[in-house]
Amino acid sequence: MAAFTVISEPTAAGPAPMDLDRCVHCGLCLNACPTYRELGLEMDSPRGRIYQMVQVANGGPLTPGYLEHIGLCLACRGCETACPSGVPYGRLVEAARAEIESRVRRGWRDRWLRRFVFRHLLPSRVALSVAGTLLYLYEASGVKALARSTGVLKLFGRLGELEQLAPSAEPPFFFSQIGRTFPAKGNRRYRVAFLAGCIANISFARLGEATVRVLQRNGCEVVIPPGQGCCGALHVHAGLREEARHLARRNIDAVLGGDYDAVLTNAAGCGSTLKEYQELLAGDRHYAGKAQQFAALMRDITEFLASIHLNLEMGPVRATVTYQDSCHLAHGQKIRGAPRQLLSRIPELQFREMPFADICCGSAGTYNVIQNQMSLQILSTKMQSANATGADVIATANPGCMLQLQAGVRLHGSGQRVMHVVELLDLAYRNF
Ligand code: SF4
Ligand code: SF4
């Protein structure tokens, strides 16, 4: 645990007593929790973490142990699904982290890194484009391949391990599409806005294009609203709620008044936060109502496509496919059927359910960077499940999970392809 000092009374409210009181300590959530499954420790289970939150809420100190156990939580919300008492665990852990953030002064390195990533990199198109270009040069120059093949990265210790999880750059970046409108193919049935996120513009630019194509094939006029930006999900997970509010207002202004039937994302992690803007902005008298309107329009791409009359003019995709639930889709948004239903519509695609498909893969936003060891341990377990299916494609519905699973294939896999559900649909349409 990095050095820290407790500096003040909280400026952010911690977990609400009303939410904490809902836990009846039954333990039914324990086996749904990836960290408990790996470590077998009560303090790293949902029930144990809630117990520790109660101690702090009752005036107990913020100890290094508390920070560690809360930090090791993936915020995957698997426990929320398992809990019969309706404990809103996602809300609890976000509030616990916001309280920690407001009371703890971290070491200078941590503070500098967090300020750079959360305030200067993620919200800025220019900064992300520069970072993406540098990443591309690192890959295109052959340095990346050389570093991996010679094993030199091992000399850099933790930095070397993190490199395995680093995204690739996919020029031309999707930023170049922001502000454009793409017409529907055939009759226009819907007018939708697509929010492309932040890092996904750099590392999943082809996925963004595939998303637009699939929507066009389904009678959608697709607008990429010019004022959009990072959704703030990573900020919320890190306890930086004020910064997240700023980003939420920006996205709301970019979308409302655009006469859209739906606002879409292809990133389940972003969608979960985008759908909760009304909670984030509940105390903002100018934006609380607008946030509600925004959240009412917000849909995950799989949720939207499964809800409309899907264009079935698809060609065959001859692949055996398994599906990894993205936590923020399955547990955060309660969407499990839609991606599976879409896969079942693709001709000749063989589907094989993987065991424990809704247990987190260890990606969890920036978790795989900050809690790298635990993330890799969880990933190794996940790959045993994926390998057991014998599938040659691992599908999922979140770019963050795709990155993690790609690393999983490199480390423990058998050459599987990792694809978004939308990319498989796009392939089927192109094969028609
Ligand atoms: S959110 Fe995930 S990691 Fe955290 S306690 Fe719940 S199940 Fe465990
Ligand atoms: S969080 Fe829910 S499932 Fe877990 S111990 Fe508490 S009441 Fe039981």
pLDDT digits (tens, 9 = 90+) for 88-146: 999 999 999 999 988 888 888 888 888 889 999 999 999 999 999 999 998 888 777 77
1 vs 48, residue with greater confidence: 48
Over 70: is that where the pLDDT of 386 sits?
A: yes
> What is the predicted pLDDT for the residue at 423?
98
Q: Please tell me the distance from the alpha carbon of residue 226 to that of residue 371, in angstroms, as a whole number.
A: 35
313: tokens are 């003019």
Give Cβ neighbours of residue 315 (< 8 Å, ≥ 6 apart). Answer: 347, 428, 429, 430, 431, 432
Nearest to 402 by CA among 418, 383, 421: 418
Ligand 1 atom closest to the CA of 72, numbered from 1: 3
> What is the predicted pLDDT for the residue at 430?
98
Question: How far away, in angstroms, is 50 Cα from ligand 2 center?
Answer: 9
Percentage of residues of the chain with pLDDT beyond 70? 93
CA 148 to chain centre: 26
> What is the predicted pLDDT for the residue at 412?
95
Nearest to 161 by CA among 377, 3, 422: 377
**Are 320 and 393 in contact, with CB atoms under 8 Å apart?**
yes
Nearest to 399 by CA among 319, 298, 324: 324
> What is the predicted pLDDT for the residue at 1?
46
Ligand 1 atom closest to the CA of 360, numbered from 1: 2
Please choose from 18, 19, 20, 26 the residue to mutate so as to test ligand 2's pocket, defined by most ligand atoms within 8 A of CB.
26
> What is the predicted pLDDT for the residue at 141?
84
Closest residue to atom 6 of ligand 1, CA basis: 79
Nearest to 35 by CA among 25, 50, 45: 45
Kindly state the helix (H) or strand (E) to which residue 330 belongs, with its residue range.
helix 327-330
Is the CB–ligand 2 distance for residue 46 below 6 Å? yes
pLDDT digits (tens, 9 = 90+) for 39-68: 999 999 999 999 999 999 999 999 999 999
Question: How far away, in angstroms, is 75 Cα from ligand 1 center?
Answer: 5
Is the CB–ligand 2 distance for residue 93 below 6 Å? no
Closest residue to atom 2 of ligand 2, CA basis: 83
Beginning with the edge strand found earlier in the chain, give each strand of the sheet holding 220-223 in spatial order: 181-182, 220-223, 190-194, 262-265, 298-300
Confidence of residue 238 (pLDDT cuts 50, 70, 90): confident
pLDDT digits (tens, 9 = 90+) for 337-356: 999 999 999 999 999 999 99
- Main-chain phi, psi angles of 208, to 5 degrees: -60, -45
Over 90: is that where the pLDDT of 287 sits?
A: yes
Is the CB–ligand 2 distance for residue 83 below 6 Å? yes
390: tokens are 């014998």
223: tokens are 């607008």
The position carrying tokens 């009303």 is 18
- Report the mean per-residue pLDDT for the chain: 92
Question: How far away, in angstroms, is 360 Cα from ligand 2 center?
Answer: 18
Question: How far away, in angstroms, is 48 Cα from ligand 2 center?
Answer: 10
- Main-chain phi, psi angles of 336, to 5 degrees: -120, -35
Q: What is the mean pLDDT of residues 291-300?
A: 98
Q: Please tell me the distance from the alpha carbon of residue 297 to that of residue 131, in angstroms, as a whole number.
A: 32
Is the CB–ligand 2 distance for residue 33 below 6 Å? no
> What is the predicted pLDDT for the residue at 139?
85
Tell me the residue length of the chain. Answer: 432
Is the CB–ligand 2 distance for residue 78 below 6 Å? no
Question: How far away, in angstroms, is 78 Cα from ligand 1 center?
Answer: 6
> What is the predicted pLDDT for the residue at 11?
56
Give the single-character DSSP code of 196.
-
Three-state SS letters, 275-317:
CCHHHHCCCCCCCHHHHHHHHHHEEEHHHHHHHCCCCCCCCCC
Between strands 4-6 and 104-106, the pairing is: antiparallel
> What is the predicted pLDDT for the residue at 161?
63
Question: How far away, in angstroms, is 267 Cα from ligand 2 center?
Answer: 28
Question: How far away, in angstroms, is 355 Cα from ligand 1 center?
Answer: 18
Ligand 2 atom closest to the CA of 24, numbered from 1: 7
pLDDT digits (tens, 9 = 90+) for 310-335: 999 999 999 999 999 999 999 999 99
> What is the predicted pLDDT for the residue at 255?
97
Q: Which residues line ligand 1 at a C-beta cut-off of 6 Å?
A: 32-35, 46, 49, 73-79, 89
> What is the predicted pLDDT for the residue at 258?
95
> What is the predicted pLDDT for the residue at 101?
86
Q: Is the overall model pTM greater than 0.85, yes or no?
A: yes
pLDDT digits (tens, 9 = 90+) for 147-177: 666 666 665 565 566 666 778 899 999 999 9
**Are 53 and 96 in contact, with CB atoms under 8 Å apart?**
yes
Please choose from 87, 91, 93 the residue to mutate so as to test ligand 2's pocket, defined by most ligand atoms within 8 A of CB.
87
Task: Give helix 421-430 / helix 205-217 axis angle, nearest 10°.
Answer: 60
Long-range CB contacts for residues 411-418, cutoff 8 Å, separation at least 24: 411/164, 411/376, 411/379, 411/380, 411/383, 412/379, 412/380, 412/383, 412/384, 412/387, 413/383, 413/386, 413/387, 414/387, 416/386, 416/391, 416/392, 417/319, 417/392, 417/393, 418/393, 418/394
